[in-house]
Amino acid sequence: MAEIFKLTPAEAYEKLTDGASFINIVDHADFSVVEYDVAEVTRLTLLELLEKAESMDKATFYIAGGFDESQGFKAANLLHHQGFENVGYIAGGIQSWFQDGYPVKYNVNDGCGTIDCGSNFDDESYGGCSGCSCGH
């Protein structure tokens, strides 16, 4: 039986550039305070992932990420138990991803807008990365 791959951010990024699909696990539908900034991402709750799994291509390599490592692992484990053999999750979650220099996005004002702060964000500059496109 295939295993679930625990991927470093560098390994995950390499697989994404090679065509893997990324699933960002969010707490509730379509909102997370901070998320991975990757070219193509599917944002789902775990329940939505379970519902969608039957229509997903089992030949694709899926990488799951969440706010912490456990969310990514739960998603990868869910897919694994649905018969997917090519699944992995990001070790350390989004904090590890960010600390290794990969870009993230920040949702502000209760999710009404997304600000792309890139990978140069630090705690002291947070005030310069607020506001949203809807005018709040």
Domain limits, the chain: 4-105
Which pLDDT band holds residue 109 (cuts at 50, 70, 90)? low
CA dihedral over 16, 8, 38, 93, signed as positive or negative: positive
pLDDT of residue 115: 45
Q: What per-residue confidence (pLDDT) applies to 117?
A: 45
Instruction: Report the half-sphere exposure of 63 (CA within 13 A, side-chain side).
Output: 27
User: Six-digit token pair at 8?
Assistant: 């470093």
Fold of 4-105: Oxidized Rhodanese; domain 1 (3.40.250)
**Structure-model confidence comparison of residues 69 and 130, the more confident one:** 69
pTM: 0.76
Q: Answer yes or no: is pLDDT of 6 > 80.
A: yes
pLDDT at 135: 38
What is the Cα–Cα distance from 122 to 79, expressed in whole angstroms? 34
3-state secondary structure of 76: helix
Grade residue 32 by pLDDT with cuts at 50, 70 and 90. Answer: low
**Per-residue pLDDT reduced to its tens digit, 35-92:** 788 888 888 999 999 999 999 999 999 999 988 999 999 999 999 999 999 999 999 9
Sign of the dihedral through C-alpha 112, 32, 13, 52 = negative
